[in-house]
Amino acid sequence: MDQPADLSIVEITPSARVETATHGWRAKCLQRLIRMDLPVPRSFAIPAAAVRAIAAGRRLPGADLGRLTGNSGGLLSVRPSALDPEWGGPRSMLNVGMNAARHAELTKTLGPEAADALYRGFVQAYAIHVARLDPDMFSDSDATLAEALRSYRDETDEEFPQDPERQLVEVLRSMARAWEGPTARLLRQAKGAPADAPLGLVVQDMALALGPGVTGSGTIQFIDSVTGDPRITGRFRGQTQGRAQRHDAESIFLTRDARGPSLEEAAPGVFADLVRFGVAARERLKEEMQIEFVVADSRLSIIDAIRVQRSSRAAVRIAVGLARDGIIPPEQAVMRVQPRALTDLLHHQVDPRAPRDLITRGMAASPGAATGRIVFSAAAAQAAAARDESCVLVRRETLPEDIRGMHASVAVLTERGGMSSHAAVIARGLGLPCIVGASGLAIDLRGRVLHAGGRSFREGEEITVDGTSGEVLAGAAAMLEPALDDSFNQLLEWADAARTMKVRANADTPQDAQCARRFGAQGIGLCRTEHMFFDDERLPAMREMIFADRAEDRRLALDRLLPMQRTDFTTLFRIMDGYPVTIRLFDPPLHEFLPHDREGMRELAESLDLPLSDVVRRVEALAEYNPMLGMRGVRLGITMPEIYEMQARAIFEAAIEVGRDGHGVVPEIMIPLVSAMREVELVRHRIDGIAAAVRAETRAEFTYRLGVMVETPRAALRAGDIAEHCAFLSFGTNDLTQMTYGLSRDDAARFMGSYVAQGVYAEDPFHILDQEGVGELVLTGAQRARARRPGITVAMCGEHAGNPESIAFCQRAGLDYVSCSAFRVPVARLAAAQEAI
């Protein structure tokens, strides 16, 4: 049987048994401060079990109450002490024990004004938070003490309680019950706490911050919460106590300041002690702390210490600083930073201190923030870029032909689309802030105006896209610069030392590849080659190939593309300098390369010298009801093998060329959208044939690895057979999620919000890998492939590969690497390290 929970109240002394699990973080933290010999007033810890009993109506034994209230000054504070400081807790109550007798004493020592203010403040706080009376009746800071006492009597039909023990009992009960309330539960659950999280309470003698000499209360910290730079900040207010006290109180600077008096000058001894305590607390508590203190006639008391609030960039600097000073080991520094927080450092960020003029919200699809003028087309974006103007591309959704417009923009905003829609995927790859699925937008293309939130914005007007929060703001917001500094690099170096799974990048262009290297990618895990065909120079050859009826004609058009593809690959191989490069063969349906409107078709007819009717017929013939499930991926490779043959040749010739100048490379060729083993066999046969031909023509030797992208449930289930024909498998979880759920990547955003809100899906499965369903296919596929071919490389390259929870899953599943957008590589390095530590 379980031991009955210990309900005893503990006086916090250096040797008392105070545990975070039993008494909460605040009680434990106070004990550490007491062990450091800091001047902490007498404090007691009430264990969580006792707080539960109090909430259930049990009374504390009289002896315990006597111990708590039996101090000389007579006043007490009661503060929450949850397991984790982030979980919050009910509001602290100060000056418990205040009554007419103490008021009379204080009137003598402090004067009537201070004594009245203290008593009135307590009556008001007690009325609102303990007796739960109407706050409107008790929030008037101009009310007199007599008025406050009268209101209390009028509302409760009894006098304000005078017995300190009764006051304390009521305060403890109200705090214990507040913690059990539904709002408090929801709030702490949102911060990751279990619904039934325990709460301890701390009762402490009040150090009065009223009286003669330098007297008041304040907080001090030694690091800047936004930048993480070492800097003393905080406040000191004379004749006031507690964090949330009157704002009109006299406030002085902590450190010497030309603008006015400072604590450093007024009480240099106190200030020096605070600094000394700060240094000691950092070392002993292994954390940057904000210290709350009281000075009474130049005598210092330390009331409390909490973890300094911090921005992402400050979190990195603090963790690295603590490890560099030998206070925590490097692995602990790695564990202290949320992987997601790193993303904030890679991009501009809207300054959290700046005002925000919110227009509308959408899905935060690619992080960072940027300000630019509204443009509604890719062409307008390119024109703006040519004028050196920053622009935000605003579209209903983006299409492959918008890529150049996206390149020319500083941010992208779409009305439709989800986390793995075209706009989202490309923007993440480019590191562009992006918001998708902003359904509150209405784009009037004719009037060249955007309507949202009851306001209108014309083309050319400035807006800010905050892709980190999903907020679209009017005008230019104040920004923080990216922080790819020494601390950032140091943290990732430590993460790399702890990590076992490799991290590669999804990169299609030389810029992407350079970015991938800069962020520490160990290769390219997915190069989507179709993005190479939208160039003005290449699109005509591509279209000619599509219009060719016979294989020979297709080959002729593809021959024109061959040297360009070869150059693409030599460039990538050179940049990656020996790191592996996985090139995915052509994937999208061909109609994406054809014009969608009559004007475009007319231009195409002209350039191909064909009748318009032929062009229209061809476009119609290629149209599909379900292009994502149609003629794409390996299905094109089987029915029009010339495309894959050209690409394979370009890859091999590029490998030979860079091999000649010393950059050894073993290219990896990946087949998309496989669902049957025979598809792999057929494609492999052709590619082997091309390899043999290139070897014979060039008399050069090279090797390559052939792999399969597992993007259909069938490929995952048949991974054993498929593994027989390839050296690696890479899970493309965008399509795999789409096909497992039967959800369209491009249309799911319409209902995803309702689905998540109603708990149908815990999360958007395009954003966070569905470990139960899609994850099971990944595990099954990996296990079957490895059983058939031990040592086969197994990886993931869908968008999930950049998501910290999903990366942790990949590490647990024993995948060899994940490959994500270059801008997510640092996040992946940190997340993989944390799972390995």
Q: List binding-site positions for substrate.
A: 528, 584, 711, 732-735
* Number of chain positions touching ligand PEP (CB under 6 A): 11
Whole-number minimum distance, CB 798 to ligand PEP, in Å?
3
Place of tokens 């150090």: 207
Single residue of 304, 530, 679, 735 touching Mg ion by CB under 5 A = 735
The least distance separating Mg ion from the CB of residue 711, rounded to whole angstroms, comes to 5
Q: Which is nearer to ligand PEP, 587 or 668 (by Cβ)?
A: 587
Please identify which residue in 321, 368, 732, 765 interacts with Mg ion, judged by CB under 5 A.
732
| Residues 6 or more apart in contact with residue 171 via CB below 8 angstroms | 78, 93, 96, 126, 130
By CB under 6 A, tell whether 732 contacts ligand PEP: yes
CB of 237 or CB of 632, closer to ligand PEP: 632
In angstroms, give the least distance from the CB of 672 to Mg ion: 6
Stretch that binds ligand PEP, among 152-160, 217-225, 235-243, 730-738 (CB under 6 A): 730-738
Asked if 660 and 574 touch (Cβ cutoff 8 Å), the reply is no
Residue 746 makes contact with ligand PEP by CB under 6 A: no
Choose the stretch contacting ligand PEP; rule: CB under 6 A; options: 26-34, 315-323, 551-559, 727-735.
Answer: 727-735
**Residues in binding site for Mg(2+):** 711, 735
CB of 572 to ligand PEP, least distance (A): 17
Contacted by 797, from ligand PEP, Mg ion, none: CB < 5 to 8 Å by type: ligand PEP
Query: Which stretch in 27-35, 97-105, 436-444, 729-737 sits in contact with ligand PEP by CB under 6 A?
Result: 729-737
* Of 78, 265, 107, nearest in space to 167 by CA: 78
CB of 712 to Mg ion, least distance (A): 10
- What is the C-alpha separation between 292 and 243, in angstroms, rounded? 8
711 belongs to the binding site for ligand PEP (CB under 6 A) = yes
Instruction: State which of positions 227-286 bind ligand PEP (CB under 6 A).
Output: none
Give the list of residues 6+ apart from residue 534 with CB closer than 8 angstroms, or none.
400, 401, 403, 404, 593
Reference 658, options 558, 581, 585, 584; nearest CA is 581
Stretch of 504-512, 727-735, 745-753, 782-790 contacting Mg ion, by CB under 5 A: 727-735
Name, in order, each residue with C-beta under 8 angstroms of 399's C-beta and a sequence gap of 6 or more: 422, 592, 596
Q: What are phi and psi of 503, to 5 degrees?
A: -130, 120
Contact mark string toward ligand PEP, 666..705, x via CB under 6 A = ----------------------------------------
What CA–CA distance (Å, rounded) separates 259 from 255?
11
Q: Per CB under 6 A, which of residues 181..220 are in contact with ligand PEP?
A: none
Binders of ligand PEP in range 579-618 (CB under 6 A): 587
Distance CA 788, CA 778 (A): 16
Q: Show which residues are catalytic.
A: 422, 797
Please, which residues bridge with residue 80 across strands? 201
Tokens representing 435 are: 């918001």
Are β-strands 502-506 and 479-480 bridged in parallel, bridged antiparallel, or unpaired? unpaired
Q: Which two tokens stand for residue 296?
A: 């009474």
Residue placing its CB nearer to ligand PEP in the complex, 328 or 820: 820
Which residue, 734 or 811, is less far from ligand PEP as judged by CB? 734
Q: Which is nearer to ligand PEP, 459 or 746 (CB)?
A: 746
| Residue 824 sits in the site that holds ligand PEP (CB under 6 A) | no
CB of 186 to Mg ion, least distance (A): 38
Distance of CA 510 to CAs 402, 556, 571, 572, Å?
19, 27, 7, 6
Residues 421-450 that bind ligand PEP (CB under 6 A): 425
Q: Which residues contact 286 (CB under 8 A, 6 or more apart)?
A: 322, 327, 328, 332
User: What is the amino acid identity at position 63?
Assistant: A
Per the listing, tokens 């109609």 go with 591
Task: Region of 662 please: left (phi>0), alpha (psi -120 to 50) or beta.
Answer: left
What are all long-range contacts of 140-148, with beta carbons under 8 Å and residues at least 24 apart? 141/246, 144/116, 144/120, 145/103, 145/116, 145/119, 145/120, 148/120, 148/123, 148/124
Can you tell me which of 781, 798, 804, 826 binds ligand PEP, judged by CB under 6 A? 798
| Alpha-helical segments (H) within 236-311 | 263-266, 268-285
- Quick one: 433 or 633, whose CB is closer to ligand PEP? 633
Q: Is residue 821 within the footprint of ligand PEP (CB under 6 A)?
A: no
Binds ligand PEP by CB under 6 A, chosen from 148, 797, 807, 825? 797
Binding window for Mg ion (CB under 5 A); candidates: 196-204, 389-397, 695-703, 729-737: 729-737
User: To the nearest whole angstrom, how small is the minimum distance from the Cβ of residue 586 to Mg ion?
Assistant: 12
Binding site listing: 528, 584, 711, 732-735
Binder of ligand PEP out of 313, 317, 517, 528 (CB under 6 A):
528
| DSSP label of 633 | T
State the Cα–Cα distance between residues 503 and 819, nearest whole angstrom: 6
C-alpha of 723 from chain center: 36
Kind plus residue range of the DSSP H or E element containing 504: strand 502-506
Partner touching 798 among ligand PEP, Mg ion, none, CB below 5 to 8 Å by kind:
ligand PEP
Considering the complex, state which of residue 642 and residue 799 has its C-beta at the smaller distance from ligand PEP: 799
The reply on whether position 733 binds ligand PEP by CB under 6 A is yes
Name the binder of 512 from Mg ion, ligand PEP, none, CB < 5-8 A by kind. none
Residue 84 or 401: the one with the smaller Cβ distance to ligand PEP is 401
Nearest-CB residue for Mg ion: 735
Among 292, 402, 544, 735, binds ligand PEP (CB under 6 A): 735
CA distance 137 to 835: 53
568 near ligand PEP, judged by CB under 6 A:
no
DSSP string, 72-121: SS--EEEEEEESSGGG--SPPEEEET--HHHHHHHHHHH-HHHHHHHHHH
Amino acid identity of residue 3, one-letter, is Q
Task: Name residues whose C-beta falls within 8 Å of residue 28's C-beta, 6 or more positions apart in sequence.
Answer: 18, 19, 20
The CA-based angle 21-25-28, given to 5 degrees, is 85
Rg (CA), the chain: 33
Residue 304 or 587 having the CB closest to ligand PEP: 587
What character string, x for contact with Mg ion (CB under 5 A) and - otherwise, covers 694-713?
-----------------x--
Dihedral angle sign, alpha carbons of residues 141, 146, 147, 151? positive
34-42, 247-255, 409-417, 725-733 -> range binding Mg ion (CB under 5 A): 725-733
**In angstroms, what is the minimal distance from the CB of 574 to ligand PEP?**
24
Give SS3 for 304.
strand
Of 61-69, 663-671, 692-700, 726-734, the window that binds ligand PEP (rule: CB under 6 A) is 726-734
Residue 528: name its binding partner from Mg ion, ligand PEP, none (Cβ under 5 to 8 Å by kind): ligand PEP
Sign of CA dihedral 312, 318, 321, 327: negative
Nearer to ligand PEP, 138 or 731 (CB): 731
In Å, what is the CA distance from 749 to each residue of 9, 94, 450, 798? 53, 49, 20, 18
- What does the per-residue mask of binding to Mg ion show for 69-88, with x meaning CB under 5 A? --------------------
767 binds, among Mg ion, ligand PEP, none (CB under 5 to 8 A by kind): none
Interacting residues toward Mg ion by CB under 5 A: 711, 732, 735
- Interface ranges with ligand PEP (CB under 6 A): 425, 526, 528, 587, 711, 732-735, 797-798
